[in-house]
Structure 1
Amino acid sequence: MALHYRKRGKVWHVRGKVRVGRQVFTLKERSTGCTLKAEAEAVGAAEEARIRAEALEGAVPRPRTISIGECIAAYCARPGGHHPFDEARLTELAAAMGATKLEEAPAAWGAWVRGRGRGLSPSTIARWRSSLKAALRYGADEFGVSAPSLRVVKEAESERIAYLTEALAARLLAAYNPWAAPVMLILCETGLRTQEALRLDWRCVDWARNVLLIEHAGAAGGARTKTKRSRRVGMRESVRCTLGALWEARGQPDAGPVFLNRWGRPYADTRRVGGNPLSKAHRTACRVAGVTSFRIHDWRHHFAVWFLKNGGNLRALCQIAGWSSMRMVQRYAVFEQSDLDDVMTRTAGTLNIRLVAGRHQNGPVPG
């Protein structure tokens, strides 16, 4: 009986059966971690020798020399590739802890959280942990070892109020430079994520139906959603006018990026290059407008709150903003106490009418 080799991506995998006397042992397909077949065959031969030794002499402890880098490499080379949001994170993690043994991953992860993770929000750290965990699980399964567990960084349950009054929002939008202003207005009026707006293509602007087409991450060209669901977002008059002016100024293109930076080039893909390219422009505008504690992503909070204040319903907001659950709406749509008081006043008006009607029908109402 012989072992069989096949290439999956750039890495060779081995599988087959090994006969020892009357016994036949099955070697499930696993990665050799090698890109050259000769090296893969050497790994296969060593694995076959280990199986024979275990069968003849009893179980021999398997050397635990698998590294985190090998797991990440196997994960990235697997059929179907990996999610584009993982690429930058896995590259950095491989550079930081790739040489570390797999069983030492929990300690390496703890050190990363205390160092590189310092200052990052718990939700951001959770995304890094998710990427690393997926790679370690896949690699451990490929090499036939157990995957270690990584400590979870729990996010504090807190509600953050992050929206502006209409006057303050208008003042901030007016303070942006000419390149950032159109993007920020779109964020304010549509609730798009920054990445979705910056990757918007003219092919995704449907003038006839007055909507923006936000495609899922696997679609070819155009904006990208964070989830794997495409959606349509209606264009308000301010959005249509802003995009219409850009479209006319560019010569009415049929395709190409909608937003360009000050040098006339498309904005960097923030899935691959860290940092928001609009951060500096946003900080400057906030300083000019006198706005504090308001981040670029807070325009999404601002949109959610004002959508509900103006009569929108939760289900519609969930679909327009591209949230997969109502739980996310609860995190974004947090109201000031004064707004809650106004809601109570308006609902009490309806109740008072009923009380007055009841007074005439059933006599005086106590209190």
Structure 2
Amino acid sequence: MSGDLLPYVGDRLSQARNFSGLTDEALRVRAVTAARDKAFEDLWALTLAYLTTDTSGGVRLSPHTLRAYRKGVEVLITHATEHGWNLLHPGRREPGLYVAGLVQSGLKPATVQARVAAASALYRALRWAGATDADPFADVKRPKDRTKGIVKNPPYRSDFVQALLAEADPHERVLLLLLTHAGLRIAEALGVDWAHVDLDRRRLLVAHGKGDKARRVPLSARLREALEAVRPAMPSGPVLPWRAYSTAYSRLQKLALKCGREHEFRGFHAGRKYAGTQLYAATRDFTRVAGFLGHEQVDTTRRYVELPEDDLDDVVEGFR
């Protein structure tokens, strides 16, 4: 066994230091070698180090976002290997052909856009390491999805939410209500700590929202009741017993299966849209809904609210 000391790689920041702590020349050589060999694990580690230390999201990038980046880098490296790319000096038309191939394979526009975002992140990391000046995806046309998100993935229906709540265990009920009543993103829901919960004032602090922005949201009576049911004698630490996205997804998926409605389960975001749609129906104010959901732009909020088809019937009825 070698007596060499291995660097600690127990968390993202420690892993990032394996790259960021190198001299400029050592970092460049390591990146050039990984690109030459099309070594996916090394290239992903380089990309992760860049994302962790040199982007606005930094160490707070969500696991869901990182999974999408990792998959996108893996797909690009596989394509580059199969088609003989020189990663450091790609041909001028190769990135466009790559995107066209993704579209032809039947991927949805949003998935293609995510793959291109990951490829762009890899090249930003290679430039950060001094391995190349190439920015091959800068001018590549990305497919646009003409179908509105609210149509593709509408809010959950009330009867589905109520069915899940009726069968949920106490912690599953809290998770469901954090999504459908508090309007939290899944990463925000999994990150709720008892220190963030103020049952007396009926408020919840979202300490680390998207972009690391904090906000406060009101707690519904039903959510307060659910939190009371799981609150320990000395509340401290995380509210939910799971931190992994995959575990939460599996719990709700199995819950839908238990209700015989597994075909209606569409992940977490439809629950957040349920909250936004309910709030808009009560307030008719996109600005207030935007603040509640943690959106900087009201136009984003419009994609979260499903308007009833008969929304204008009474107004039009009185036209003269």
The alignment's TM-score, normalised by the length of structure 2, stands at: 0.70
1:152 matches 2:125 = no
The residue number in structure 2 matching 1:206 is: 198
Secondary structure of 1:310's match? helix
Looking at structure 2, the residues matched to 65 and 294 of structure 1 have their Cα atoms a distance apart, in angstroms, of 40
Match of 2:283 in 1: 311
**Structure showing the higher helix proportion among its residues:** 2
Distance 1:256 1:165, change over 3 A: same
2:254 to 257, 261, 281: 281
Alignment partners' CA distance in 2, 1:319 and 1:251 = 33
SS at 2:307 equivalent: coil
Q: What is the CA deviation profile of residues 179-204 of structure 1, one whole-angstrom value per residue up to 9, with x for unaligned ones?
A: 42221122221111222112211121
| Higher alpha-carbon Rg | 1
1:243 aligns with 2:227: yes
Paired residues in the alignment total 278
Give the Å deviation of 1:178: 4.6
Higher fraction of strand: 1
Which residue of the other structure, out of 131, 139, 150, is the alignment partner of 1:143?
A: 131
Q: Distance in 2 between matches of 1:91 and 1:164?
A: 29
Secondary structure (helix, strand or coil) at the match of 2:205 reads strand
* SS across alignment from 2:306: coil
Is the Cα contact below 8 Å between 2:99 and 2:112 reproduced in 1? no
Q: How does 1:1-367 map to 2 (within 5 A)?
A: 9-14=20-25, 31-34=27-30, 73-78=45-50, 80=53, 83=58, 84-85=61-62, 86-96=65-75, 97=77, 100-102=85-87, 103=90, 106=95, 107=97, 111=101, 121-140=108-127, 142-149=130-137, 150-158=140-148, 159-160=150-151, 162-163=154-155, 166=158, 169-216=161-208, 225-247=209-231, 250-253=232-235, 255-260=236-241, 266-268=242-244, 270=245, 276-284=249-257, 287=260, 292=264, 295-338=267-310, 340-341=311-312, 344-345=313-314
| % identity of equivalent residues | 18
Gaps of 5+ in 1: 1-6, 15-29, 44-63, 217-224, 261-265, 353-366
TM-score under structure 1 normalisation?
0.62
Query: What are structure 2's unaligned runs of at least 5 residues?
Result: 1-17
CA distance in structure 2 between the partners assigned to 1:185 and 1:151 by the alignment = 40
> Contact (CA 8 Å) 2:180, 2:274: kept in 1 or not?
yes
What is the RMSD computed on CA atoms of the aligned residues?
Answer: 3.9
Q: CA deviation at 1:65?
A: 5.2
